[in-house]
Structure 1
């Protein structure tokens, strides 16, 4: 099985390196993508928006012979969701890592401070305490060393998903900051940010208690969990 991994904000494909060992040991082929505008800190991010990132994933789906698993961390969740919306027959499973898919018209996060056409990794005070669980001083230094600015339009361009076939694709949420019970309760209460989850026909929720960046704080456990979900 091809497993395509999409990083969240400020991370490139190499951020998945500590995670992919178990997937590859199980015989899967992994592709951890570095998205347009995130090739390096000095890459051009002018005019690059959410749809450009989605199209990059769609191009990969179109290039392989069989349906693939898409893994999206954080902001990458919106990207894999929209790619599945565009090519539902090319996606075997969707895995959302500490994230949920966006409702149509929603934005990932238009409150992050931009500098021109880029959003650099902000100070840690911007994040909630739950985000930073297990992110030690050493890991924070490593994260800042590897961080690349995010194209600003990716954070603010509205999501566009209108193909109901996406709800037929099996999906898994790997819950880090919140428990499965909490997420289920929000779905039952009709919380707007869970509206997409509530329509997925085959949804599972797995727990990996840690902060928002499990590929940094608990990479081995995340790798094993992904391998277990992919099968």
Structure 2
């Protein structure tokens, strides 16, 4: 198997409670397809970090910037970033700061956040962290479709509590050039038609999608964690998106 030197590096960033391990099956498939994939564990989600609960969005942005630098990101050789779920906050900030270094962003059952967004606006200032809730509670918030017992067991065993500062901080965005970055939204727990209807209606979770200049929509019907429920299909979508021209 030969890695193509013409394909961009794909940086994989998981959502809340997850680390790089969450992308294992997708990375294996992307590697088999000849693509370079770099999965990340964001600051605050490393179980071995004694200060993880104090990590901030700024720390997460800096970590993504470091990985981009290590991948050689430049205007001539931009990277592709795939962001799952709650990774949308730090990735939106990175898009705002470095739109020229990102050839495409792929939102996996997620999307760009609007300026000023706070994930948990009602959280108290002394909130330290939020652990993975019981699955019956989580399932009311996000679809667990396609996840068998063994997957849920690994999820529970490997999950790391989400740091409080990340959930309380507003996302400060200032550069509309982020909206020019070619964008793919992989729609899993709701369809692309439903999402665009909500975006058009100004729903705060999706309103920013309606502002993106170059938007591709891909339906991958499954639950909120397609890296586990449909990893082969997700990997192919990422591989295709990474070499797609702006729409």
Q: Is the TM value for this pair above 0.5?
A: yes
Checking the alignment, whether the CA contact within 8 Å between 2:118 and 2:169 is kept in structure 1 is yes
CA RMSD of aligned residues (A): 2.1
> Structure 2 unaligned runs (5+)?
1-7
Structure 2 vs 1, CA of residues 40 and 159 (structure 1 numbering), >3 Å: closer, same or farther? Answer: same
Of stretches 93-102 and 28-37 in structure 1, the one that deviates more from structure 2 is 28-37
TM superposition shift of 1:34: 1.1
Structure 2 vs 1, CA of residues 41 and 116 (structure 1 numbering), >3 Å: closer, same or farther? Answer: farther
Cross-structure match for 2:186: 174
Alignment partners' CA distance in 2, 1:36 and 1:128: 26
Alignment partners' CA distance in 2, 1:127 and 1:218: 19
The TM-score normalised by the length of structure 2 is 0.86
Cross-structure match for 1:72: 83
Cross-structure match for 2:5: none
TM superposition shift of 1:155: 1.5
Cross-structure match for 2:133: 122
The TM-score normalised by the length of structure 1 is 0.91
The answer on 1:81 being equivalent to 2:92 is yes
> Structure 1 unaligned runs (5+)?
none
Cross-structure match for 2:231: 219
TM superposition shift of 1:114: 11
Checking the alignment, whether the CA contact within 8 Å between 2:44 and 2:54 is kept in structure 1 is no
State which of 26, 29, 34 in structure 2 corresponds to 1:27. Answer: 34
TM superposition shift of 1:119: 1.6
1:96-115 equivalent positions in 2, closer than 5 A: 96-110=107-121
Checking the alignment, whether the CA contact within 8 Å between 2:222 and 2:230 is kept in structure 1 is yes
Structure 2 vs 1, CA of residues 134 and 115 (structure 1 numbering), >3 Å: closer, same or farther? Answer: farther
The answer on 1:194 being equivalent to 2:203 is no
State which of 160, 165, 173 in structure 2 corresponds to 1:148. Answer: 160
Cross-structure match for 1:205: 217
Alignment partners' CA distance in 2, 1:92 and 1:57: 15
